[in-house]
Amino acid sequence: MPPTAFAPPYAPDDQKLVDNFLTGIRFEAEAQGRIDDAATSLINGIRSRASRIGGLEDFLRDYGLSTREGLALMVMAEALLRVPDAATQDRLIEDKIGTGDWAHQIGKLGAENGSKDETWFVSAATWGLGVSGRIVKQGDDPQSILSAATKRIGAPAVRLGVRQAMRYLGHQFVLGQTIGDALSRARSAEKQGARHSYDMLGEGARTRGDAERYRQSYADAIEAIGAAAQAERLPERPGISVKLSALHPRYEARNHVAVLKDLVPIVTELARAARAHGLNFTVDAEEQNRLELSIDVIDAVLAELAISGDLEGWNGFGLAIQAYGKRAMAVIDHMAAQGLHYGARLMVRLVKGAYWDSEIKHSQVEGADDFPVFSRKPATDLSFLACARRLLARRDVFYPQIATHNALTVASIMELARQTGDPRTGFEFQRLHGMGEELYAQLHDDLSANGRPVACRIYAPVGGHRDLLAYLVRRLLENGANSSFVAKVGDTKIPISELLERPSRIMAETPARHSAITMPRHIFEGRPNSQGVEFGSRLELSSLTGAMGKSTVPPKPEAMTASQLSDACARAASAFPTWRDTSADHRAKCLEKAADLLETRTPYLCAILAQEASKTIDDCVAEVREAVDFLRFYASEARRLCGQFPLPGPVGERNEYITHGRGVFACIAPWNFPLAIFLGQVSAALAAGNSVMAKPAPQTPSIGCEALGILHEAGVPEDVVILVPGGAQVGKELVENPHIAGVAFTGSTATAKAINLALAQKDGPIVPLIAETGGANAMIADATALPEQVTDDVIMSAFRSAGQRCSACRILYVQDDVADRLLTMIEGAAACLSTGDPMDPATDIGPVIDTDAAAALNAYLDTRKAQIRWQGDGTGAPNYVPPTIIELGPDEALSEEVFGPILHVKRYKAGTLNAVVDEINASGFGLTFALHSRIDAVIAQVGKRIDAGNLYINRNQIGAIVGSQPFGGRGKSGTGPKAGGPLYLSRFLQEQVISTDTTAAGGNASLIAMEDKA
């Protein structure tokens, strides 16, 4: 039988893994000496072969992650050549040239190189101008470089110079823009025995068209490589690498069934084509939350190849493994079992990993218990050696391909190869195109003097600037950090002994975890982050969905009658004084206990949300987490804001500032966030010392009832927080009740105005209203924005939760020069969204909340029929509204909130950005706004002018995190203060100051008795 499905623990303990590695990787003194001698020879060879290392390594050394210039050049290299209009190109150039100290960089390069031009591309990138050496002088103000150049030679010439420099820079990162160019460029090296693995740039297909384009690109490349290999009679077999995310537009763990159904036949077909030409075929590694899915696809393809007999006589199928992943060794063991089962020898490319920063952020955002990757570089280095040893020891089932540019790692691998078998054969090294040339040339010389050298294969990216950014970012992350070998080896001031520092020695003496990187559960000071569910973990996802499927939704509570409401308000008023006088710490502890209870009942609460509110599973988990965050945040805020505090003043006087609850708060929550917003309002009121009449929306009372039951279980007295089920009439009576001392409301602007009017007409004290209402939220994308990133963020912002978020993107403004391509991509991505049962993890869009909402949305769509650009297919399910994209004309503006999966788009001309912002502001709404641009000056310009409560730059505009992105708008979008922010709780408090004259009893004894310490 084949091995079982790959499902190890998602994030095992760092220290246990490191301890195991230290036990398994031990070199005796003689072996240590051989490693030192070999590594020293390699380093000396690198340093002696050229005054500078050359090409790409020069760039990474001079412009790593630590420099503004490096990041600016990366942006220009990626964005400039795809910006179609001259005006935007000029603004991007001006913006990026002005960010760095280019004159200093030129001086540094000149001092190091004299008049040599062997590193011209670095100089060209540095100047950003083809004629820069004649324009800029050392000591010039960096901010004036571009304007001076423009005056001397004109804007078109400057633009042409920068474009040529960026083309040349891209040429250093890729072997060719097409597979034909790459094969031509590689021909001379391959005739001399060089090996290549061609990587067709492109990943993360957004549309089915993208996926088909990438599939065809791979298929064409296989044919071209195979034909070239046969025609040239190459002595070594070339290969190709494929990325699974490029071949499927929804390559996500929760789409497991569809991915395997769609993708396995495609990958199998490509692998068979590679076999027919005698090529190697490697499945590249991707993010850790896709690892299990990737292994499932690989396992299925292996089974298909075995059944058809295509594995016989072909040892070219393989995969890449990332050593920074804590499950790397588990992948090796799993694939070894697969190889034994099918009688195949698998090629395995071992890399350190290139998504490290996004892995850390993903875990923190998702509230994971731990990271799936090592947080320290020496731990990754140690894991790399341990994985290499395991691979080299199993050369019967693996052909190891060790990818590194580090001389110490190369020397260590050579020693491990000696310990586990033939020290020169049965494995190969790999390097990136444009990197490691001096290292492996020196290795070849060193080994040729003493027998046969070890093979080294070149990982050769192929593609144009359209697909370059992701590759550029990964290369910078892997090799551009100050701590990397590539950054250090060219600096002769760094002693060789520092470059020979063993990861095993470092990790034997220091903790396995990075001391400055906060664990996901502890990113918020004073409170734990809410517990998430990692959909990329088969164990976590199946545990959640299994428990949800067994849960039974409780019946909806009956609406309150008028007499019941009056009685309940009286009971809440009677309970208020005792709760007000309860210590803030005790109130906070009740809320924190409730948060803990919510986390333990996540599956049950998710089941209610899915069945009562039609929420998809990912939205359910996010909502429970947000509710937990609100409880803990306001508990912390209560300790900070509630109580009695001394104030400064003159001697003989005591001033005290006191805060306490206002009385009975009416908290009126919406149906679109029936747990998170409901508990957010209620917990803030309770934390401040108020009693609460908590009214859920009439569509979603069951989840509100469960939430209040948890609060009562956590220690909040039953009369302190009372459920008020019912519709609009119950809400009206609640607001008008004389016991109500404050109202917190989230819902429509019209309802908020009606509540405000009702409160103003009441006799007695002025009652405060905290209102969060909707918005006609806009996003702007200029010509420099990355289309794939805009597409992801638009799809997320417009269609997640079926568009039923007050923060959702309602209108996208796109610069006309790029609108056609971008809108086509957005439409293609929307067409890949899955609609259906919210309880299915693969569902992206479920039904809207009820029949009335569906009818209103469909009626609106009827009025816009002529303007519909794209519309999804209907499912026939009740209350389902198809996702729709509507294009507005140049004289139309969106002035209303359309609360559903409907996105409006509008084009704008370059140079009219201020008018666009004015149009957005004219709607009167001011909730969320998003901007996608690579130009910092544009970001600053729009940020100053836009009238919105929450601005999101180069990201989606939904999913505000409690305490990190306080949420709330202005104008027609709410009164403030922002929920989850530092001012929110203060609105639920009353303030009092007590000032006492302490001299009134006959003098200030404390002043007279004060000791002089002078």
φ, ψ dihedrals at 389, nearest 5°: -60, -40
Antiparallel, parallel or unpaired: β 664-668 and 456-462: unpaired
Q: By three-state DSSP, how is residue 176 classified? A: strand
**Residues paired with residue 870 on neighbouring β-strands, in sequence order:** 885
Cβ atoms of residues 46 and 452 within 8 Å: no
Q: HSE (CB half, 13 Å, CA atoms) of 395?
A: 20
- In degrees, rounded to 5, the angle at the alpha carbon of residue 359 between the alpha carbons of residues 398 and 786 is 105
* Nearest by Cα to 326 from 609, 105, 701, 9: 9
Q: Give the C-alpha separation, 923 to 894, whole Å.
A: 7
Tell the burial category of 553 from Cβ atoms under 10 Å away from its Cβ (0-12, 13-18, 19+).
middle
* Nearest by Cα to 426 from 460, 394, 448: 394
Q: Give the C-alpha separation, 842 to 835, whole Å.
A: 9
Cβ atoms of residues 187 and 485 within 8 Å: no
Which of 806, 809, 887, 897 is labelled catalytic? 806
Name the token pair of 240: 């190709």
Q: Give the C-alpha separation, 333 to 352, whole Å.
A: 18
Q: Give the C-alpha separation, 522 to 827, whole Å.
A: 39
Name the token pair of 61: 């050394």
Buried b (16+ CB within 10 A) or exposed e, 590-617: bbbbbbbbbbebbbbbbbbbbbbbbbbb
Q: Give the C-alpha separation, 503 to 386, whole Å.
A: 11
**Residues paired with residue 349 on neighbouring β-strands, in sequence order:** 320, 401
Count of beta carbons in the 10 Å neighbourhood of residue 874: 10
Q: Give the C-alpha separation, 194 to 234, whole Å.
A: 9
Antiparallel, parallel or unpaired: β 456-462 and 428-432: parallel
For the four alpha carbons of 28, 31, 36 and 39, in that order, the dihedral sign comes to: negative
φ, ψ dihedrals at 668, nearest 5°: -115, 110
**Is position 667 annotated as part of the catalytic site?**
no
Cβ atoms of residues 423 and 163 within 8 Å: no
Q: Give the C-alpha separation, 887 to 790, whole Å.
A: 17
**Residues paired with residue 348 on neighbouring β-strands, in sequence order:** 319, 400
DSSP string, 747-796: S-HHHHHHHHHHHHTSSSSPPPEEEE-----EEEE-TTS-HHHHHHHHHH
Cβ atoms of residues 414 and 38 within 8 Å: yes
Name the token pair of 229: 């290999």
| Amino acid (1-letter code) at residue 330 | A
Tell the burial category of 111 from Cβ atoms under 10 Å away from its Cβ (0-12, 13-18, 19+).
exposed
Query: Which run of H or of E encompasses 407?
Result: helix 407-420
Q: Give the C-alpha separation, 753 to 742, whole Å.
A: 15
Strand order in the sheet with 721-723: 721-723, 691-695, 664-668, 740-746, 769-772
Q: Give the C-alpha separation, 325 to 286, whole Å.
A: 11
Cβ atoms of residues 832 and 603 within 8 Å: no
Name the token pair of 88: 């935007």
DSSP 570: H
φ, ψ dihedrals at 482, nearest 5°: -60, -30
Which of 94, 599, 772, 887 is labelled catalytic? 772
**Is position 806 annotated as part of the catalytic site?**
yes
Q: Which residues contact 650 (CB under 8 A, 6 or more apart)?
A: none
The catalytic residues are 772, 806
